A and B are shown apart, each in its own frame.
Chain A
């Protein structure tokens, strides 16, 4: 199996990936308009202010939407897997995979509560995956 495709952090996103490595889901919010946003950038996409801060998010959310890829990408193994979007408690949505859960339409119900589950890939990269909140 080829190695999993992994992100290459940039200066603007480094805090997010460092957070995952340290077991924290880090979001940003605007100190002017209080908007929380994702993906990372050094200004608020709502009002344009550069006065933004990084904070530790709750790591909880709900399953917002997904597909189950029946033709796995070679680096993802041989079994079908869900490509999901979680709507975080703080508002933003992010793509992820769902772990500790069968990858079936029956098990994956929209709006089910999820919590972050960090999956170390390399010394530099840990991916924020999500698991059912009760698991």
Chain B
């Protein structure tokens, strides 16, 4: 059996009612709020859902909390791109008849930590034995580790990462729900507090509360739903390593390359077909790796591509770039609860529905690329709004 293009569609999509700082809602409450909003968007009740997928909490908790009796449950947990994998698996499951209507949820109290679990790293795990003893302190000191090698290989400097943050802030300025909207300069980025050299605070993502949910069903049924269907044209996934120090190549992510290639192949598209792009940006170097590993830029050329405004919105009467990237403002300016992939998917769906705050005129194909762990995993979804 082969991949079946456009046979499955997103018919419900929503984020949590509030976003940013939500001290009065627990993690499971954020899942439920997003799920109920997505069901309202699709005109469905919990009893209409027969498949569930989530990460962070168990699909058992999700189904029980919402009163769903599923015939399909996916608990794939590979970090922030888990939801891209859930979309891919859901498309295959719907085609295989495992379920008809699948709900995918995310909720995370990243900032307020209400009802949030820990981040366990057993001292006997490989990370516990071969990374934790050297003082790593979460993503800012781990995800960032390969970048000096990347910069040296390509003759770049840390300042070459700054335009990623400044240009995404331009997109965020157009988005009423973005956490940060004030303009940024390269100097602002470079002079911000140093978190883990060479990364300043403004090269690191936000830490916020929020959630999101998607509902997928067959393209055939999708026509009867209230919202414009957004089709799953192609998809890919891969994993590489639980230890960032063991990446095969510090200048390129193998998981990105494998996932991206599969997504483009299954969608049957070329790079020129892509109207809109999301690349999970927990840190400023990720869009550089993403643009190169997905094949939009040659190795070492992504920073220049961004600095030359190829991914920027229209500004001062100048036309926008040819490849609008991270149009919600991204994890650097929009929001980042911990597992950001769901918000990238939501923005792709909004763009394909034609309702995004910074809508890309006439966009027909959106590529949404996620990362999980610290270059540990990847998932890529190609969406289309044409059947």
Residues of A at under 8 Å CB distance from B?
A: 4-10, 13, 17, 38-39, 64-73, 75-76, 80-81, 83-85, 93-97, 105, 110-111, 127
Is the C-beta of B141 less than 8 angstroms from some C-beta in chain A?
yes
Does the CB pair A96–B246 fall under 8 Å? no
Residues of B at under 8 Å CB distance from A?
A: 122-124, 126, 128-137, 140-142, 144-149, 152, 193-199, 243, 245-246, 250
| B-chain residues with CB within 8 Å of residue A65 when the two chains form the complex | 145-149, 250
| B-chain residues with CB within 8 Å of residue A83 when the two chains form the complex | 134-136, 141-142, 145, 196
CB < 8 Å neighbour of A7 from B130, B199, B246? B130
| B-chain residues with CB within 8 Å of residue A95 when the two chains form the complex | 130-131, 134, 136, 145, 243, 245
| B-chain residues with CB within 8 Å of residue A97 when the two chains form the complex | 134-135
| B-chain residues with CB within 8 Å of residue A66 when the two chains form the complex | 145, 148
| A-chain residues with CB within 8 Å of residue B194 when the two chains form the complex | 68, 70
**Distance of A6 Cα from B132 Cα, bound (Å):** 7
Least CB distance from B275 to A in Å reads 35
Closest 3 CB pairs of A and B: A7-B129, A68-B197, A8-B123
Least CB distance from B197 to A in Å reads 4
CB < 8 Å neighbour of A10 from B124, B131, B147, B196? B124
**Distance of A65 Cα from B142 Cα, bound (Å):** 11
| B-chain residues with CB within 8 Å of residue A81 when the two chains form the complex | 135
Least CB distance from A90 to B in Å reads 15
Does the CB pair A7–B123 fall under 8 Å? yes
Q: What residue of chain B has the Cβ atom nearest to residue A119's Cβ?
A: B133
Known A-B contacts A69-B141, A70-B196; the reply to A93 vs B245 at CB < 8 A is yes
| B-chain residues with CB within 8 Å of residue A80 when the two chains form the complex | 197
**Distance of A70 Cα from B357 Cα, bound (Å):** 37
